[in-house]
Amino acid sequence: MTYYIDDLKPGMRETYERTVTEADIQKFGEVSGDVNPVHFDEEWAKTTPFKGRIAHGVLTASYVSTILGMKMPGPGTIFMQLLTRFKAPVRIGDHVIASCTVREVNAEKRRVTFDCDCKVGDTVVLEGEAMVMAPARPKA
């Protein structure tokens, strides 16, 4: 399912939910090369302001990308820009709800901007903005 550029209107919203697992942190460390002890060493992480291990911020950011690529606009989308502000830590076992809401549609350039956030319960852990090029409706 893809939303084409002329389907998209300000206020439309999609979400993606995910519970962060130990395996997710391990795999993210492998693919990124980021094996910082704040993600992998509980004793070390306890000495930081986070008081324990946290997930990689860019792992949480990936959920925003998942919405844009998989749900809205969906396959055919070209991801152009992502701004993420990391507001609070995400820990193993946290259930993250990511959401993207259409802010503006430029039909001529096929550009769509989104307001994005990720929450754990009532806590905003990430907020940001994304810009994509949405697919054109195939000619009949």
Residues that bind a second copy (CB under 8 A): 16, 18, 24, 27-28, 30-38, 44, 48-49, 56-59, 61-63, 65-66, 69-70, 75-76, 78-86
Q: Which is nearer to a second copy, 11 or 45 (CB)?
A: 45
For residue 136, give both structure tokens: 């054109």
Q: What letters, b where the CB count within 10 A reaches 16 and e where it falls short, cover 67-85?
A: bbbebbbbeebeeeebebe
Distances (CA, A) of 79 to 69, 125, 139: 8, 22, 22
Smallest gap, in angstroms, from Cβ of residue 100 to a second copy?
A: 13
Q: Which is nearer to a second copy, 11 or 135 (CB)?
A: 135
Whether the Cβ atoms of residue 91 and residue 52 lie closer than 8 Å to each other: yes
Smallest gap, in angstroms, from Cβ of residue 102 to a second copy?
A: 19
Smallest gap, in angstroms, from Cβ of residue 4 to a second copy?
A: 14
Q: Which is nearer to a second copy, 59 or 105 (CB)?
A: 59
CA-CA distance, 134 to 105, in Å (whole number)? 9
Q: Which is nearer to a second copy, 36 or 101 (CB)?
A: 36
Amino acid at 132: V
Smallest gap, in angstroms, from Cβ of residue 74 to a second copy?
A: 8
